[in-house]
Amino acid sequence: MIRTSLFALALAAAISAYPLVFPPAGDREFAGTDGLAVDAIADIRPDYRRWPEEPLGFVPSPRVESLLFAAEATLGAGFLGFYLWLRRRQARRQAMAVAADARGPGDGSH
Amino acid sequence: MHIMEGYLPVTHAVAWTAVAAPFVVHGGRRLARLVAERPQLKLLVAAVGAYAFVLSALKLPSVTGSSSHPTGTGLGAVVFGPPVMAVMGTMVLVFQALLLAHGGVTTLGANVFSMAVAGPWVAFGAYRLATRLRAPRSWAVFLAACLGDLATYAVTSVQLALAFPDPAGGFAAALAKFMAVFALTQVPLAVTEGLLTVVAMNLLASHGRDDLAELAALTGRKEVAP
C-alpha cells in the first residue's frame, strides 16, 4: 500500500511539473480555464451583458487572493493531518490496552 | 469549472439553482442522520471535506498552456456516497464564491450541480462498477476520482453551451468550444486527482480503519470496509 502511494505521489508530481519544465507552444501563461471560458462566451455572444456586473462576494486583490487560496489549502491539509494523527494515536493506545489486558492482572510490568 | 459570477442568464441561473437545491437538501438530511447515529464519524466527514478544500484550492498547470484545478469530491463520494458530498462540495463553492471571487452567488446552483452533484455521482458509479468487476481498490478509487473530475468539467461545458449556443452552429458548436477550453486541460489534472485520491484513500484505510468499519456496518456497503 505504501509503495502504491509513493508511486502515485511521484507520478502526480511528474504530471504537474511536466508543463512547467516543457512549456507548451504559444504564450498562454497558464491562464485559468474559468477566465478562458469567459473569453469563449464573449466570442459567441459579444453583446452579452454580465448579470450582475460585479461579483456579489468579496473580491480580493491578486495578492490577498493567493493568500486565501494558500490558507484554504493549508487549513484543509492541516485538518486532514490532524484527523489521521488522532486516529492513529487512538488505535495505538487501544492496541497497548489490549496487550496489557492479555498479560493478565497482577502483572506489574508496564 | 467555476462559471463566473454574472455569466449565466437569469433563467439559467434560477433553473440550475432549482435543479441543484433538492440534492443539497437531501444530502443535508442524510448527513444529519449519519452524524446523529454515529457521532464518531463527524471527524471523518470533516476529513473528506478538508480534502475537497485542499484539492479545489490547487491551481495546477496543464499541457494545454492553461491551468485549472481538481475538485476533490471523489474521495468523499467513494467513502460516504454522493449525497454527503453535495453538502461538502456546496460548502467549498460557497467559500470560494464569497471570499475568492471564484464562481459566484448567481452561478452557485450551476456550479453545485456540476461539482457537488454530477461529479460525485459519476465517481460513485465508477467506483461501484469497478469494484463489481473486481478491480483492485486502488484502481477503483483512481477511476472514481478521475472520472468524477472529468464529468464535472463536461457538465460545466454543457451548462455554458446551453446558455450560450453558437449563433451559427448552435448548441453543438458551442459545446465543442467550451469543451476545447475545459476538457483537454482537465485530462492530466483528472489523472493527478485520481492519483492523489488513491493516496488519501490508502491513508484513510490504514489510519481511519475503525471509522471505515463503522461506516460499512452502518450503511451495509462492504466495499468501503478496510
What pLDDT sits at residue B94? 96
Pick B65's closest partner by Cβ from A30, A43, A87: A30
Lowest mean pLDDT among A37-41, A50-54, B90-94, B144-148: A50-54
Q: Are B88 and B49 in contact (CB under 8 A)?
A: yes
Give the pLDDT confidence score for residue B92 in this predicted structure: 96
Cβ distance of A16 and B138 shorter than 8 Å: no
Render each residue's pLDDT in chain B as its tens digit; 226 residues. 899 999 999 999 999 999 999 999 999 999 999 999 999 999 999 999 999 999 999 989 998 889 999 999 999 999 999 999 999 999 999 999 999 989 999 999 999 999 999 999 999 999 999 999 999 999 999 999 999 999 999 999 999 999 999 999 999 999 999 999 998 899 999 999 999 999 999 999 999 998 999 998 888 776 666 6
Q: ipTM greater than 0.85, yes or no?
A: yes
Mapped onto helix, strand or coil, the DSSP state of residue B215 is: helix
Q: What is the pTM of this model?
A: 0.93
Option in B54, B67, B203 nearest A84 (CB): B203
Contacts of B9 in chain A (CB under 8 A): 51
Residue A8, chain B, CB below 8 Å: the answer is: yes
- pLDDT attached to residue B223: 61
The CA distances from residue B79 to B44, B106, B213, in Å, are 9, 30, 11
Percent of chain A with pLDDT over 70: 93
| CB of B212 less than 8 A from some CB of A | no
Confidence (pLDDT) at B142: 97
Mark which residues 20-49 of A lie under 8 Å from B by CB. Answer: 20, 23-26, 28-38, 40-41, 43-45, 48
B positions 113-152 inside 8 Å of A (CB): 138
User: Taking a C-beta distance cutoff of 8 angstroms, is the pair A48, A42 a contact?
Assistant: yes
Q: Find out whether A86 and B44 touch, Cβ atoms under 8 Å.
A: no
DSSP-derived 3-state class of residue B68: strand
